[in-house]
Amino acid sequence: MKTNKIFISGDEAVAQGVKLCRPHVIAAYPITPQTITVERLSEMVEAGEMDGIYMHVESEHSAISATMGASAVGARTFTASSSQGLLYMAEGLHYCSGGRWPVVMMNANRSVALPWSIYGDQRDSLSLLDCGWIQVYVEDAQEALDMMIQAYKIAEHKDVLTPMMVNLDGFILTHTYELVDIPEQKMVDEFLPVFETPNKMSFEEPKNLGFSSKPDDNTEFKYQQNEAMFKAIDVIRDVDQEFAEKFGRKYYDMVEEYRCDDAEVVLVALGSVCGTIRVVVDKMRAAGKKVGLLKIRYMRPFPETEVKDLARRVHAIGVIDKDISFGYEGTVYTNVNSAISKIDKYVYKSNFVGGLGGRDITKEEIEEMFEKLFFGVKNKSEEKVEFFSLNVESND
Amino acid sequence: MTNLVDIPKVNAKNMTEKEYFYGHKACAGCGGSVAVRLALKVLGERTYTALPAGCMSAVGFIYPQMAFNTNALITTFPGAASMASGIAAGAKALGQKDVKTVVFAGDGGTADIGFQALSGMIDRNDDVLYICYDNEAYMNTGIQKSGLTPYGTKTTTTPAGENLPGTITHKKNLFEIIAAHDIAYAATASIGYPQDFMNKVNKAKHTKGATFIHVYASCPTGWGTPTETSIEIAKDAVDCGLIFLAEYEDGEYKLNRNPKEFASVKDYLKKQGRFKHMTDEDIQCVTEHRDKKWARMRKQWL
């Protein structure tokens, strides 16, 4: 297959992906580390490389409001944010999914104040897991670009009509450079149809949208929204397959298993840290240790089937969380744990909380996690939530 | 651009009999619904209508009974202007011609929570007409003070008692704040002067870019006035000078009515339950504020 590789950052890869999808309206407010994406898109609009309108909104709340407005007349839309900005959008995120407007967003995963930190973790998007958006986490710049193209196709599918958030780790992915293959516009046009939706205002068929509902109806709307999210699982699978056939890159839809076939102990993670885990898995495998990685790609809809399937085959599962739900445990862990609890088998589990506010998760730490999981299985240790590489004294 | 002077005037004879806002559940005598109804008669079918949380969205969109005959949408509370901007941008990007996007937002939705988005909309000069129907408090949630609640008003969050006269601040100077953006067209109006209001809507309709109308709209429920006096009381407010009719066009202010004498402020206030408690001293404070404002407007605008 012919390739056209250029050396760009994750943010730029997102911009390239968005451009190929020909959005009608882009509305965004700058926030580190998302800025390069919106700068590049502005340049593309200025240069006439894109036909869309770039709206300089005065806040993230207006960014999501404007994209919803544009989507409500049948326009394809894009926005991008991060951290505080994503939280400022929070009302709009729920509003958008309830309105069934398939807005696509890039979120540069960044920590949340206080204390202020511009660096990466996943507390921003994971704290908004319940806002009704499809959430995917990517591992590198190529996946970021490819997921922009897949995102429109998934979100705009008639059975889905649900907005989608493509998450990439702040700085680790947004600001590092990789060789990224830029698909041909013609191929993207063939892959991604023109946006058609029955859920829009038009002069041929005027509609009143964004209405209020009584207790008699509200549950039914929410039920349908939830059903659409489950239907998205099949659509995600089909779109990934079709994408692989068209562009030669496959992302294994909901999750990707790495060397899990005969694994005894597996680490579960989201995003860029998966790249580091792969290296550690290879090293430990070379030393005869049966370890593997489960890369969760979609947090919503959640890959329950895939997690259960893996849990049936292994002795221990460790979950790395670049977030913490204060007073309990990491959010990824809660979700994975819930799935595991539905199988009729004991699996030793552990939650490793770390990488907060941009701290590196090193190969040594990952190796230690695997060893802890082996130790836990062997000694039937108590399962726990552990902040790893802590510089203050732990209560444990 | 269309010369606004040449636009045919709207009047009772030539206005459409078509209704674009009916079957809603507004209170009897609702001034806000009159403002929406009259404005849409001017704007017509090819209108996208956006309303934030507030009375008009609460009474107009109760599933499955939709009350707008135009395309219409409830927006986020702080995002009426930006969602309307998005509608206008989407329509433009899709190549739709001869389209107007209009916002109907209350005083709180405009001067308080929606103000940032409104300022952004005007800054970008998005093709949206923003109409603020001002009934001087958060009526939908049960009469709480907003940034446009006038001095002396008794609301549920500014109760009048021995220590306070109700609201202790004057209305924000919304019209001039909007004009300070150097907007293409802005106006004040009152449903007590419906023809004036409709012609201002018509001017805005024919102006490309961001436009703004601040229309005074009575609220019998929140004001403690008989339902059949809604138009009369909105006219009284203008006649006593507490509400003024003006325009901002081509960078110039224009006073549409400049009466030699004002009707009695006290008579206007005492007709309304929300002002019943006001002392002569309170009324004096309101009157002085009015006089100061008019002196300045006459000095600067005439």
pLDDT in tens, A258-303: 999 999 999 999 999 999 999 999 999 999 999 999 999 999 999 9
* Same domain membership, residue A66 and residue A10: yes
Check: CB of residue A148 under 8 Å from CB of residue A106: yes
Distance in Å, alpha carbon of B59 to nearest chain A alpha carbon: 9
Residues of chain B above pLDDT 70, percent: 98
A95 shares contact with chain B (CB less than 8 Å): yes
- Residue A262's contacts (CB-CB under 8 Å, 6 or more residues apart) are A290
CB contact under 8 A, A212 and B57: yes
> Which residues of A fall within a CB distance of 8 Å from B50?
69
In a domain, A24, yes or no: yes
Find the Cα–Cα–Cα–Cα dihedral A326, A330, A335, A341, rounded to 10°.
-100
Q: pLDDT tens digits for A171-192?
A: 999 999 999 999 999 999 999 9
Of A51, A69, A211, the CB nearest to B83: A69
* Same domain membership, residue A235 and residue A270: no
Of A52, A70, A208, the CB nearest to B86: A70
* Same domain membership, residue A313 and residue A236: no
Q: pLDDT tens digits for A131-162?
A: 999 999 999 999 999 999 999 999 999 999 99
CB contact under 8 A, A208 and B71: yes
Provide the domain limits for residue B242.
Answer: 4-301
CB contact under 8 A, A66 and B48: no
For residue A5, the model assigns a pLDDT of: 97
Check: CB of residue A163 under 8 Å from CB of residue A103: yes
Answer with the one of A247, A282, A306 that is the final residue of a domain: A247
CB contact under 8 A, B79 and A64: yes
Distance in Å, alpha carbon of A263 to nearest chain B alpha carbon: 49
Single-letter amino acid, residue B263: A
Provide the domain limits for residue A324.
Answer: 255-387
Answer with the one of A247, A267, A283 that is the final residue of a domain: A247
Q: pLDDT tens digits for B37-59?
A: 999 999 999 999 999 999 999 99
For residue B8, the model assigns a pLDDT of: 86
CATH at residue A103: 3.40.50.970
In a domain, A89, yes or no: yes
Cα A6 from Cα A18, distance rounded (Å): 16
In a domain, A393, yes or no: no
CATH at residue B8: 3.40.50.970
- Res B243 pLDDT > 90: yes
CB contact under 8 A, A57 and B85: yes
For residue A384, the model assigns a pLDDT of: 87
* Same domain membership, residue A235 and residue A179: yes
B125 shares contact with chain A (CB less than 8 Å): no
- As for how many domains chain B has, the answer is 1
In a domain, A394, yes or no: no
Answer with the one of A194, A225, A247 that is the final residue of a domain: A247
* Same domain membership, residue A185 and residue A107: yes
- B71-74 and B100-106: which strand pairing? unpaired
State the best of A54, A64, A73, A224 to mutate against chain B, taking most chain B CBs within 10 Å.
A73
In a domain, A395, yes or no: no
Of A52, A72, A214, the CB nearest to B73: A72
Mean pLDDT of chain B: 96
* Same domain membership, residue A237 and residue A262: no
Q: Among all residues of chain A, which has the CA nearest to that of B51? A: A210
* Same domain membership, residue A365 and residue A241: no
> Which residues of A fall within a CB distance of 8 Å from B84?
69
- Res B251 pLDDT > 60: yes
Mean pLDDT (whole number) for B20-28: 96
In a domain, A396, yes or no: no
The helix-helix angle for B115-124 and A60-71 (nearest 10°) equals 70
Helices and strands (H, E) in chain B, number of each type: 11, 10
For residue B118, the model assigns a pLDDT of: 98
Question: Within 10 A of B302 (CB to CB), how many other CB atoms are there?
Answer: 9
For residue A2, the model assigns a pLDDT of: 73
- Res A213 pLDDT > 70: yes
Given the structure tokens 């449903």, which residue do they identify?
Answer: B191
- Res B2 pLDDT > 60: no
B69 shares contact with chain A (CB less than 8 Å): yes
CA B106 to chain centre: 7
CB contact under 8 A, A214 and B124: no
Distance in Å, alpha carbon of B94 to nearest chain A alpha carbon: 7
Question: Within 10 A of A204 (CB to CB), how many other CB atoms are there?
Answer: 4
Helices and strands (H, E) in chain A, number of each type: 13, 16
- As for how many domains chain A has, the answer is 2
Q: pLDDT tens digits for A49-96?
A: 999 999 999 999 999 999 999 999 999 999 999 999 999 999 999 999
- Res A396 pLDDT > 70: no
In a domain, A264, yes or no: yes
For residue A394, the model assigns a pLDDT of: 74
In a domain, A329, yes or no: yes
B168 shares contact with chain A (CB less than 8 Å): no
Mean pLDDT (whole number) for B150-167: 96
Position with higher pLDDT, A2 vs A38? A38
ipTM: 0.96
- Res B212 pLDDT > 60: yes
Check: CB of residue B207 under 8 Å from CB of residue B186: no
